Structure formats: structure tokens, C-alpha cells
Amino acid sequence: EIDRSKWDNLIKYLEGVEIIFHCAGVNRPVQEKDYFINELIANQLLSSIDKSTKKIIYTNSTHSLLNSTYGKSKKRAGDIFENFCAINEIEFKNYLFPNIYGINSKPNYNTVVATFVNQITNEEDVKIIQDKVIDLISIEDVVEVMIHDTEFENNLVSIKVSELRDLIKN
């Protein structure tokens, strides 16, 4: 595991590593320009690997298909990985995960599930911005999919936002 505290010694920590699971990134920065950190992280990571690396698995987002600043930054980072891996004959897996929920999720930050649980638990008014069908996947399923290098579509739960709210309330 490499976190921010080890980033300055990235070359040391990646020495001899055959498979890299890249799960880091910026998703709610204070300033919009900070989304470019996703590309910076991708480039720094790739400039630090050695010939041992055989595969890179990237936890991307379905937002990379959208025209938001966050989506564009995730797409560009994914493109950086894909191009590098193609040139260097490294296997690349680009997972476009939808709404991930589960342990350590933060309300009003990275998942509607945590937001609704927090609002309902605190007896707050639950606001639905768009009552559409969304796909959800648990963090446990994400980890299993990545470890076993499988597709994740069978692990998705599709639910209308109002139905999700009602399910959590009940």
C-alpha cells in the first residue's frame, strides 16, 4: 500500500511490483484546477515503475464518460495509463465503476447511499436532485472484482433514487 506519506519515495516502493492497483485520485477539490492532480498522479506513478510491472488496474469512474471537469480528469488519467501500457506492453485494466458504497463512505461526498443513511439517521430532510435509476456496487464487490480481474456488471444493483431512499428508511 502506498499512500501520500510514501509518495516521495515512489520508486523505492514500486521496485519489483508486478501488479499495480491504482485507486487514488481527486474527486472533490476546493478549486476546479486541482482536478489536474489526477493526471499528475498518473504520470508520477508511471515514471516510477520499473520493468517488473506487468499489469496496471485503474479504478476509474463512469463519470469519465461525462463532460464534467471531474469526468474529464478521470478520462485523461485513464488515457495516460492506457497509452503508456500499450507502448510498454503492460496489461491494462480500466474499470469504469459506477456509484460505490460501503465502509468508509462519506456522506455528502462520495456516495448517495452514505448521504441518505446520514440524513435519515439524523432525521434530516432527504433531498432527491434527480429521481433516476442509478447503478450501485459495494466496495467489497469492487475489491473482489479487481483482485480476481473479472467483470463487475453482475455485481451491480440498479435502483431508482427514490426507491433507494425508501429502502434505507425502512
Per-residue pLDDT of 146-169, as tens digits, reads 999 899 999 999 999 999 999 999
Cα Rg, the chain, nearest whole Å: 18
* 109 Cβ contact list (under 8 Å, min separation 6): 28, 115
Q: What is the pLDDT along the chain (170 residues), one digit of tens a residue?
A: 888 888 889 999 999 999 999 998 887 777 878 888 889 999 999 999 999 999 999 999 998 999 888 889 999 999 999 999 999 999 999 999 999 999 999 998 889 999 999 999 999 999 899 999 999 999 999 999 999 989 999 999 999 999 999 999 99
**Structure confidence at residue 159 (pLDDT):** 98
CB atoms within 10 A of CB 67: 8
User: 145 is written with which cell numbers?
Assistant: 472484482
**Structure confidence at residue 88 (pLDDT):** 97
Residue 161 buriedness (CB in 10 A; 0-12 / 13-18 / 19+) = middle
**Structure confidence at residue 34 (pLDDT):** 81
* 91 Cβ contact list (under 8 Å, min separation 6): 54, 55, 56, 85
Buried b (16+ CB within 10 A) or exposed e, 1-25: ebeeeeeeeeeeebeeeeebebebb
**Structure confidence at residue 123 (pLDDT):** 96
**Structure confidence at residue 27 (pLDDT):** 76
How far is the C-alpha of 125 from the C-alpha of 51, rounded, in Å?
Answer: 54
**Structure confidence at residue 46 (pLDDT):** 96
**Structure confidence at residue 75 (pLDDT):** 93
